Structure 1
Amino acid sequence: MALINSSISDASESGGKDCQRTTPESTQMQIVLLGDGEIERAATVMAGAFASDPLGLYILPDPQNRLTMLSWFWRQALHRNHLYAGNYTTAGEIRGVASWLPPGAPRETLWDLWQPFWQVLRCAGWRSTYRCLALLEFVERLRDRHCSSPHWYLDGLAVAPESQGQGIGSLLLQPVLERVDREGQTCCLYTSTERAVRFYQRQGFTVCEEVRFQTQAPPLWYMVRSPQ
């Protein structure tokens, strides 16, 4: 259950995506699986990267608790995805994180989400809780519509603000993108900025649909990548 992704997706380049430039330093960077003991720090990095994302601003309009709630959301998502070895980061210092769900991973039901959303209700209020639930239900419908067959789902991609513009986001995606190409699988995501759309297009994703899950909400782009 991620709030902001590649997917409340994924984020913009100014809020979680790197620019396309690759530096000599980034070409030497090693991408590794995130350790269980690194989840707390990784969640903090992701919250900071997504703090100005349009979708995060809409769902968590109160700046007093936005970072706290984003960190909490990402801890939940990273712990869940850790069960499937779906979290990737940079070796040594955590400069970014890519978090995936593999084909066959069970989707969360409203019953599964009851306890987490009680926490949202308590800390962020009814308006944010309602928007979270509406978004997650809406995104599940998009997945059914555009990715009905088994697929990899990018739950979130974030690069620390001070490390953006170095090609780290592209590197973080490579382990799974190389795997899906070898195995002939599809992957998908949603994102909420046009800059992020352009970034993902460079990684081989195509836009299937541009929508708003509520009238006043920012636009979302749902994107799918076929094996290449």
Structure 2
Amino acid sequence: MFTTRADLTVRQATPDDVPALLPVLAQAFSTGTVAEWAVPETADRTEVFTGYFRYMLALGLSDGRVDTTDDLSGAAIWYRRDETPPPDSDHLYGLEEATGRYAPKFLLLDAMFEARHPRLPHAYLAYLGVDPAVQSRGVGSALLAHAHEGLDAENLPAYLEASNPRNRDLYARHGYEAGLPMQPTSSGPPFWPMWRGQLNGGVRSSFPPPNPYYRRPR
């Protein structure tokens, strides 16, 4: 179980919040096995993830919803997904421009995530990041609880990809069920697809069947 902090207010972010949220997300995601795999050069990581999240925050604000806390110590980028999203070639160019010579690995992650994505309407948590200085203090749980309140009112399922066991366990405490892990390459870092189903008679629906077009890497 989890405890929601009463001293944190969650609200929808605006473009004025981007200068404060950008370093929060860049720092939160520029450490760990995924960052080391995506950007092997340590000296480049902060710059690359800053460019990446400048682009992702812009997308979230225009096409999805970005939640943040009143102290701007964390952010969550959500999207509503129908069965199959329309193709967007501009996204590939934007991602390449944001990540430079490291774009091939970011594009590979995008392709893997899309191939495994459930093909039914749901809310998609693309990113959740917390300032490393205040991690493990309930900021992530506050962001999740706020979003889930609205989703539960609609009885809408949610989906995400957890990038490490610690995050996977956090999401499990918030009602997500983990599927079989996926890897961008045979030596790449594992990600766990996670599903928070609809409530039917007090019981959440189980993980949807795997996308038949997904193939595990060899």
TM-score, scaled relative to structure 1: 0.80
Runs of 5+ unmatched residues, structure 2 = 200-218
| Pick aligned residue for 1:131 from 78, 81, 105 | 105
Distance in 2 of aligned mates of 1:88 and 1:105: 24
> Within 2, Cα distance between the matches of 1:58 and 1:22?
33
The one-letter amino acid of 1:37's match is D
2:92–2:107 contact (8 Å) kept in structure 1: no
Bigger Rg over Cα:
2
User: Is the counterpart of residue 168 in structure 1 residue 142 in structure 2?
Assistant: no
CA–CA distance in 2 between the matches of 1:84 and 1:173? 19
Residues 6-37 of structure 1 show CA distances to partners (whole Å, capped at 9, x for unaligned) of xxxxxxxxxxxxxx8758xx322111111211
| SS of equivalent residue, structure 1 residue 52 | coil
Checking the alignment, whether the CA contact within 8 Å between 2:64 and 2:77 is kept in structure 1 is no
**Residue of structure 1 in register with 2:216 after alignment:** none
1:113 is aligned to 2:97: no
Q: Percent identity?
A: 23
Match of 1:98 in 2: 76
Q: Report the equivalent of 2:170.
A: 199
Match for 1:65: what amino acid?
Answer: D
- Structure 2 counterpart of 1:68: 47
The equivalent position to 2:30 in structure 1, one of 25, 28, 51, is 51
Instruction: Find the aligned partners of 1:80 and 1:114 in 2 and give their Cα distance.
Output: 13
Q: Structure 1 residue 106: deviation in Å?
A: 8.2
Q: Which TM-score applies when normalising by structure 2?
A: 0.83
Hey, what's the Cα distance between the residues in 2 that align with 1:38 and 1:27? Answer: 22
> Residues of 2 paired with 1:225 and 1:58: CA distance?
28
The equivalences for 1:120-159 within 5 A come to: 120=98, 123=100, 125=101, 128-143=102-117, 147-159=118-130
Partner of 1:209: 180
Q: Kindly indicate whether the alpha-carbon contact (under 8 Å) linking 1:189 and 1:224 is maintained by their aligned counterparts in 2.
A: yes
Tell me the matched-pair count: 199
Aligned-residue offset at 1:104? 4.4
Q: CA deviation at 1:165?
A: 1.9
**Any conservation in 2 of the 1:78–1:99 contact (CA below 8 Å)?**
yes
Deviation for aligned residue 1:151? 0.8
